[in-house]
Every structure is written in structure tokens, then in C-alpha cells.
Chains A and B, each alone.
Chain A
Amino acid sequence: MKLRTAIPQVKGLQHLVESMQLQSGLGKRYLLDMPMLYQAEEINRELDLVTRAYSILSGKKAGLISKIQTKLMQVRDIKGSVKNMKANLVLDDIELFEIKSFALVSDEILKLQNEFESTLMEIPDLNPMISILDPENNRIPSFYIYDSYSDELATVRKEIKELKAAIKADPETGDGQPLDDLLCQAEAIEADVRAQVCERLYPYATDLEKALNQIAHLDVIVAKALLAENLGFTRARLSDSTTEYKGMFHPQIKETLALSKRKFQAIDIALNQSVCFITGANMAGKTVILKTLALCQYLLQFGFFVPAQSARIALVDRILVSVGDDQSEQNGLSSFASEMVKINEMVEASIKKENVLILVDELARTTNPTEGRAIVNAVAEIFNENQTQSVITTHYSGLDSRCRKLRVKGLDKDFKSGEINKNNINDYMDYSLIEDDASSVPHEALRIAGILGINQQIIAKANKNLLKPDSIFCRENQSCEA
């Protein structure tokens, strides 16, 4: 999977990629075409590079990075010219100009990198190409078929100039078209010279291609390091068994909160090779936890640092997410049907014992609670049996007692009435997770609805309903007791 295809699958990823300070179109394309990495050594190799750039940023030579960025800004994508070169075609002046100016920038970046203790990114030396394209040794990014390529050309050009001057003085000198003949001659020599120049360049095509690639990669590495520095990301360690985050946060939400001078409460979470339920009141951030878990996993496997204080992450082959905010109507499926299609895919992956990370938000919430709870427990059982790393959030009570449960603390302190309203409820919410072995889940929906300022009639009537002997609430408790 390429990053390009992963972006639409996780919401936060798009935002992060857009906020990266990539300097060249080349770098942007390289980033979007990056494959998802599944091998620990590949990931570590990429992360090592980001770490190097990251440490340079906080060191004395940080200025060099911005110098390199300025140079990266001048880099143009010359893949077309490289392709023509590899096919041994004769290039035109514009293509030769592009190659020359790229080679010059590449050389400058190479020199800037030499000032680091060790080179960040190996770039082939393109000086042999530069000297072919710069016969007058000006080191200026400009190109034409210079006189110095061929004495013959220089002579003809001189003759043309003289003849033109003569014709201007006396138009009859131009009779018999001597000028056209000379122009033709000059053009033929230019074509020859161009072919020769290209012939001399062909052996370096591979070097050029490599340089192009490495410079694009360098752009990406620097942008990744800057992203990590700006947003407080950290390098995750790779784990063979369990995934564990300390101080995990969602970068986009944190940013939005920071704009209104509020803080995002980072959370700690540990997963193991089985199912894990997350319960908690409404507005307690359960969905955000799932989204952040998916985001972190993708970030790691595309060679990024992750938004957490520290993290140990197990690699997976696939990330399967069901967060019910996609447009299922377009496929002609009801929200329940489209959810079930997704769950089916997850369960099949689980049965095949694939190495996946499964994240499900409020499983079976769009059907009746009796059957819903039965579905939740069935799916959880399958994940448990097959030791599939999975997280399911739910509001249902009566969950399979063999499964691990985490609960968001929520509003568990005592508050004066009227102290909380819908504007400050987020400040009172405790988003941290605690292990929970109770079989029932928090019943705070009405309390939160009240805080949100919902019409009092609803709350009063709903509370009354709960007290009726045949209410779901009572039945639920009875069934649990039974």
C-alpha cells in the first residue's frame, strides 16, 4: 500500500501530510508514493534517518537544514528528461538546461551535507555531468550550445553575424540567400554537437536518476523531522509482542484545542494480542482513541515519528477500521449493513490468523440492544480465540467477562449542579483509561444530555421510563444478575 492510498482511510493523516514542509514537487511525489513498510529493519532504517535529521535540528548546525531547504526549493522534477536520457534519445536545449541546473543544485546540496559530521543522504557526485554541460565553467544554471563546443560552429556563427550586419547596411548583399545557407549550416552543426553532448551524458543517467531519488528522499526526511519537532512526536520502538503508548495524543485535535488555549489530555494505553473493550460515557473520547491508534500505526509503518511521549508498537500487515462516519448510503447499504460487511472482513482476517490491527467503534450500535450485545460478544469471542489485536468501543453492558475491559474515567468527580455546561464539559472530562472488570457500563447518557442543555422534558420523561419495571435498563440489570 502506498501513502497515497492510505491517506483517504485515516482522517488525520491527510492533515499531517498537508502540514509537512516539503520544499519540492519531487519530494511531495516521493512521499505520496512511499510504500507502507512491514519489515522492522526497513522501518528502523527510515527512522534512523529521521532521527539524524531531528538531532541536527536541535543541534548547532540547524541552520544548515534551512540552507538545504532553500536549495531543495530550486529542485525541479526532471524525470521526463532522465527517461529520455535512459532511452538514448537526443535531448533538446531545454532538457539539457534542466539537467544542468538540477546537477548544480544537487552538487550544492552535497556540499552543504559535507558540513554535517556524516552525510545524511548519499548523493552521487554529478560533477562529470556538470563539466560536460558547462564547457566555459561558469557554474551558472543556464544552457545553450556554446561556441566552445565546436570551432566550426563558432566560425559559422561569426559569419552569420557579419553577414547580417552587411545586409542591414546594404540589403543587396542578401541576394542569393547566403544567410539561409549559413543558418542551415549552423543548425546542422548544433544538432551534431547536441548529439555528441548527449552521447557523453548517457553513461551518467543512472547516477542522475539516483541523485533525483536521494534528493527527493532527503526532502521527505527533513520534512518528517520538522513535523516531529513542531508537533512533539517521538520515535516509537518496535515491539515483538504488545503495543503500548504513553501520553498518546491526536495531533489535529490537540492543535485545534491549542487555538482556543485548551489542552489535549494525552492518554496511556496498552494493547495485547487479543480483544480489548473500551467503555465510557458519551463524549469521553472513545472514538478519538481509535482514530489515534490507527493514525499512529500508519505513521510508524510509513516511517514517521508518532504522536506520543513514548511508544512501543508491534508491526501489523493490515489495519482494519470501522468508525461509522462514512457514506454508506452511496453504496445502497443501510448503516447496519455496511458495518456488517466491514466486520465480516475483519472476522475473516482474524480467522485466517492474519497479523492485523482491528479497530471498531461502537459495534452493532444501529440495531436493537439485545441482538447488538450478542453480536458484540460473538465478534469478541472470535478475536479472542484467534488472538487478534483488536479494540472495540461499546455502550453495551453484559460483555463477555473473559475479555479485557478499559473504561474512560469520564465525569467521575462530584460537581455542583450548573457548574458544567456544554462549553466547558471537555475541561471536566477525565479522558484517561482505567482497567475495569465490572460487567455493566457507565450510565451517564442522560446526565450528559442534561449538561448539553437538551430539553428538560426529554430527560424527565426518560428518567421516568427507566423506573418502569419493563424498562430495558431494568431488564439489563436483571439479565446481568441472572
Chain B
Amino acid sequence: MPFIKEIEKYKSLSIVGLEKNTGKTECLNYVLSRLSGSTKQIALTSIGVDGENTDIVTQTHKPEIEVYEGMIFVTSELHYHKKNLIAEVLDVSTQTTSLGRLVTARAKSSDKVMISGPANNAAIKDLISQMRNFDVDLTLVDGALSRKSLGSPAVTDAMILATGAALSANIPQLVYKTNYIYDLINLEAVEDELKECLLPIQKGIWAISDRDELVDLEIESVLLIEKAKDKLFTKGNRIFVNGAITDKFLNFLRVQKQIKEIEIIVRDFTRIFASPETYYAFIKRGGRIKVLQKTKLIAVCINPVSPDGYCLNSDELKQAMEEKLKLPVYDVRKLNKN
């Protein structure tokens, strides 16, 4: 039973696809089916909407999420009414999402369900902590990465990454791109004290001075960095950026003379939107990036089939990936067959 024992060590786990059709839902279903035999209380939710019957973007078949008897799941009112399984309502949220209030329910039979959840970080965090009220040991979060979402899967303790031919149909390229995300996930976290200070800040760009004081640089966004280059390093070389880190920003930093002293802090790895080439060039020059919220990557799942029908050699891909990442890699479809 690969990686299930590892999963049980954590309180929360997100399963994240690097691209549509990289087999995230299949991976989630696999994890759920293996956990269905566990004595632990499992809860399931999602960041934003998920569990559509067919994938709206690519019109390909998309498996629904199977919930097993005894598991707790959180979904929106709208999807709750569409369910087939028998479920006991445990709670209804006071806040509403675009699909109605969130219903927490315990499955009384096993069947497929559409799962949707809160769309922003704070709400997901709250939800995970509320699950304690129902004696939940492990909360699974159906994560989103490539989508434009305010919610980031990095709020969970651990993460499984789903990657595959949909991201790139060329094995070295696919390994390179996956490895980039792997490197981002492994970015060092800032010290706890600083994390507590920075977490509540939701806007702007801040400098951390040598005496550990926070100074608002009064720059709205890194997208406007062109206009405020002069302000950036007036208070120190440690900069906390709330928004996204772009190619343009990293390229600007790369040519600064004090590049080796520069340390950028971001909320979590999903805020880095730069291309791998730019990122590695920045790192090579001596620049550093740290994160506030760090999550542990425990496994990578691969889907060798792309939606346009291209099929990579599963074993070859698995081997190449394992060699590069030094992490367990699984083809979920093969696991299911065994």
C-alpha cells in the first residue's frame, strides 16, 4: 500500500494537479479508496468548484469523486442536493459561496459526489480547523494550481502532486517542469516569528529592515514595479511581496548589484508565476526566495496519457521522474489494476 501510511501522519493533505487532465481526480479517488479501510476519520473538501461530470474546458471524461461510508465531506448546497448517496447533515455554514452555503455531511453509503468548497485561503484554513469538531483526523483537499484561484493548497500540511502528459508530451520536458514545481514547494520557510508578523498582511510590498522592522513600501503591486524601482531597496534587502512574482520582477532583481543580499518572501509557492528559466537564472546569480507557508510534498502521481491521445511510456516516465526528484512516483492507473 504505497504512501498511504505516510499520508496518515498528517492532519491535512491536498492533492494538486499541475495541469488539467494530469490525473488529479483519479489520484484522489485512489487515496480515498485506500483510506476507506482506515480507522481514521477522513474528511474531504475542495478549493472552489470541482467534481464536474465532464471537464468543461476540454470536454474529456472526468471521473467523479467517490466518497465512502463513514467519511465526512463538505460541499456546496447546490452540489449537496445533486448527490446520490445517503448522507447525514452535520452542519451548514453561515457564509455563502457562489454555489450556496457549505454543507458538512457524513456519508451513510458509498457513492460519487460533487465536491466544492471555499475559495480563499482563510476560509479553507478555518474549515480544516473546524473539522476537529467532528473528530476528523485527516482532511483531504482537492486542490487547484493552474486555475486562477485565491485559495492555495499550500495551507495543508502535506501535498501530493499529479503530473502527466497533459503538461508536456516529452519526458525530459515533463520532468523539468515537474522538478521546477518540486523546487518551489521545497523553498525554505521564514522563521516562525516573522511568519506570524507577515501572515495577516494582505496587501502591498513590505521591506524588513535590518532591525526586523516592517516598512510598507507603498507600492501597490509588483506589476507596477517599473514605476517604483527606486523605492524598493530603500529600507533593506528583505522584501515581502503579497502578490505574484513575475518574470519581469525576477529579471529586474537579477541585474541588481546587491543580488546576493536580496531575499524575497512570498506567501507560498503558488505565488511564483515566473518561468523556470527565469527562476533558475535568479537563483544562480545568488538571489533567494522564502515562503511563509510551507507544505510537505509526499508523493508524485503521473498520468502518461494526454487528453489529445498521446501516451508516454509509464515505466520510463516513472523512472526518469524518480531519479530527478528522489521521491516516490506512482502511476495511479497501474496501482488500481494491481
Chain A residues close to B by CB (< 8 Å)? 25, 76, 92-94, 97-98, 141-145, 157, 160-161, 164, 183
With contacts A94-B80, A94-B103 taken as known, whether A142 is within 8 angstroms of B90 at the C-beta atoms is yes
B29 to chain A, nearest CB (A): 14
- Taking a contact as CB atoms under 8 Å apart, the answer to whether B108 and A144 are in contact is yes
Q: Which of A92, A93, A157, A164 has the most CB of B within 10 A?
A: A93
Closest CB-CB distance, A454 to chain B, in whole Å?
Answer: 35
A25 CA to B89 CA in the complex, in Å? 21
Closest chain A residue, CB of each to CB of B89 = A97
A160 to B109, CA, bound (A): 10
Known: A160-B109, A164-B110. A144 touches B87 (CB 8 A): yes
Say whether B86 faces chain A, with CB atoms less than 8 Å apart: yes
Nearest A residue to B83, CB-CB: A93
Known: A94-B80, A143-B89; 6 extra A-B contacts, CB below 8 A, are: A25-B94, A98-B92, A141-B91, A142-B88, A144-B89, A160-B109
- Chain B residues near A183: list those with CB within 8 A: 84
* A479 shortest CB reach to chain B, Å: 59
Please name the residue on chain B nearest to A144 by beta carbon.
B88
Question: What would 12 A/B residue contacts be, using CB atoms closer than 8 Å?
Answer: A25-B94, A76-B94, A93-B89, A94-B80, A94-B92, A94-B101, A97-B92, A141-B90, A143-B88, A157-B86, A160-B109, A183-B84
Which residues of chain B have C-beta atoms less than 8 A from A94's C-beta? 77, 80, 89, 92, 101, 103
The list of the 6 closest CB pairs from A to B, nearest first, reads A97-B89, A144-B88, A142-B90, A142-B88, A143-B89, A93-B89
In chain B between 97 and 154, which residues have their CB closer than 8 angstroms to a CB of chain A? 101, 103, 105-106, 108-110
Interface residues of B (CB under 8 A from A): 77, 80-81, 84, 86-92, 94, 101, 103, 105-106, 108-110
| Inter-chain contacts of B105 with A (CB < 8 A) | 144
Chain A residues within 8 Å of B109, by CB: 157, 160-161
Query: A142 to B92, Cβ gap below 8 A?
Result: no
Query: Do residues A144 and B103 form an inter-chain contact, with CB atoms below 8 A?
Result: no
Give Cα distance in the complex from A183 to B84, angstroms: 8
Contacts of B91 in A (CB 8 A): 141
Which of B86, B90, B91 gathers the greatest number of chain A CB atoms within 10 Å?
B86
State the Cβ distance, A73 to closest chain B Cβ, in Å: 11
Residue in B closest to A186 when the chains form the complex, CB atoms: B86
Min CB distance, A163 to chain B, in Å? 12
Alpha-carbon distance between A304 and B106 when the two chains are bound, in angstroms = 45
Q: Closest residue to A77 on the B side, CB-wise?
A: B94
Knowing A142-B106, A144-B87, the reply to whether A76 touches B92 (Cβ < 8 A) is: yes
In the complex, what distance in Å separates the CA atom of A214 from the CA atom of B334? 61
A141 to chain B: closest CB distance in Å?
Answer: 8
Are A142 and B89 neighbours in the complex by a CB distance under 8 Å? Answer: yes
Expressed in whole angstroms, the Cα–Cα distance for A98 and B77 within the complex equals 13
- Verify A144–B94 contact, CB threshold 8 A: no
Report B-chain residues with C-beta under 8 Å of the C-beta of A157: 86, 109
Docked CA distance A92–B109 (Å): 19
Measured between beta carbons, the chain B residues less than 8 angstroms from A141 are: 90-91
B84: chain A residues at CB < 8 Å are: 183
Compute how far the CA of A92 lies from the CA of B92 in the bound complex, rounded to whole angstroms.
13
Q: How far is the CB of A37 from chain B (nearest CB, A)?
A: 31
Instruction: Tell me, rounded to whole Å, the shortest Cβ–Cβ distance linking B325 to chain A.
Output: 34
Q: Within the assembled complex, what's the spacing in Å between the Cα atoms of A145 and B108?
A: 10
User: Separation in Å of the A99 CB from the closest CB of chain B?
Assistant: 11
B89 contacts which chain A residues (CB < 8 A)?
A: 93-94, 97, 142-144
Q: Which residues of A contact B101 (CB under 8 A)?
A: 94
Residues of chain B lying within 8 A (CB to CB) of residue A76: 92, 94
Asked whether, in the complex, the Cβ of B92 is within 8 Å of the Cβ of A144, the reply is no
Q: Which residue of chain B is the closest to A96 with respect to CB atoms?
A: B89
Residues of chain A lying within 8 A (CB to CB) of residue B92 = 76, 94, 97-98
A153 — nearest CB in chain B belongs to which residue? Answer: B86
Chain A positions within 8 Å of B110 at CB level: 164
Question: Complex: how many Å from CA A97 to CA B89?
Answer: 6
Whether the pair A144, B77 counts as a contact (CB closer than 8 A) is no
A92 proximity list for chain B (CB < 8 A) = 81
Q: How far is the CA of A350 from the CA of B77 in the complex (A)?
A: 57
Are B86 and A144 touching (Cβ within 8 A)?
Answer: yes
Q: A114 vs B259: C-alpha distance in the bound complex, in angstroms? A: 71
Chain B min CB distance to A125 (Å): 24
Determine the distance from Cα of A183 to Cα of B88 in the docked complex, in whole angstroms.
17
Nearest residue in A to B103 (C-beta to C-beta)?
Answer: A94
Q: How far is the CB of A210 from chain B (nearest CB, A)?
A: 23
**Min C-beta distance of A134 to chain B, whole Å:** 12
Q: How far is the CA of A76 from the CA of B91 in the complex (A)?
A: 11
Q: Nearest Cβ distance between residue B72 and chain A, in whole angstroms?
A: 11
The residue of chain B having its C-beta at the shortest distance from the C-beta of A187 within the complex is B84
Which of B77, B89, B90, B109 has its CB near the most chain A CB atoms (within 10 A)? B89
Report the bound CA distance from A93 to B106 in whole Å: 13
> Considering the chains assembled together, what is the distance between the CA atoms of A378 and B92 in angstroms?
63
The residue among B84, B90, B94 with the most chain A CB atoms within 10 A of its own CB is B90
User: What residues on B are CB-neighbors of A25 within 8 Å?
Assistant: 94
Nearest opposing residue in chain B for A78, CB measure: B92
- In the complex, A94→B79 CA distance in Å? 12
* Bound-state Cα–Cα, A98 to B105, Å: 13
- Shortest C-beta distance, A120 to chain B (Å), equals 26
Task: List residues of chain B with CB within 8 A of the CB of A164.
Answer: 110
Q: How far is B88's CA from A160's CA once the two chains are assembled, in angstroms?
A: 18
How many Å from the CB of A212 to the closest CB on chain B? 16
Closest A residue to B109 by beta carbon equals A161
A157 to B110, CA, bound (A): 11
- Report Cα–Cα, A138/B80, bound state, in Å: 23
CB of B279, distance to nearest CB on chain A (Å): 46
A142 to B86, alpha carbons, bound, how many Å? 13
Measured in the bound complex, the distance between the Cα atoms of B81 and A157 in whole Å is: 18
Shortest beta-carbon distance, A252 to chain B, in Å? 27
Cα(A141)–Cα(B88), bound, Å: 10
Instruction: Give bound CA distance, A245 to B94, whole Å.
Output: 43
Rounded to whole Å, the gap between the CB of A70 and the closest CB of chain B is 14
Chain B CB within 10 Å, residue with most, of A25, A76, A144, A145: A144
Nearest CB in chain A: distance from B338 CB, A: 16
Question: Taking the nearest CB of chain A, how far is it from the CB of B46, in angstroms?
Answer: 19
Cα separation A143 to B106 with both chains bound (whole Å) = 10
| Complex-state Cα separation, A411 to B94, whole angstroms | 55
State how many angstroms separate the Cβ of A68 from the closest Cβ of chain B.
Answer: 20
Shortest Cβ distance from residue B112 to the other chain A in the assembled complex, whole angstroms: 12
A93 partner residues in chain B, CB cutoff 8 A: 89
Query: How far is it, in angstroms, between the C-alpha of A93 and the C-alpha of B105 when the chains are bound?
Result: 11
Q: Which residues of B contact A142 (CB under 8 A)?
A: 88-90, 106
Q: What is the CA–CA distance of A90 and B94 in the complex, to the nearest angstrom? A: 22
Measured CA separation A255–B291 after assembly (Å): 42
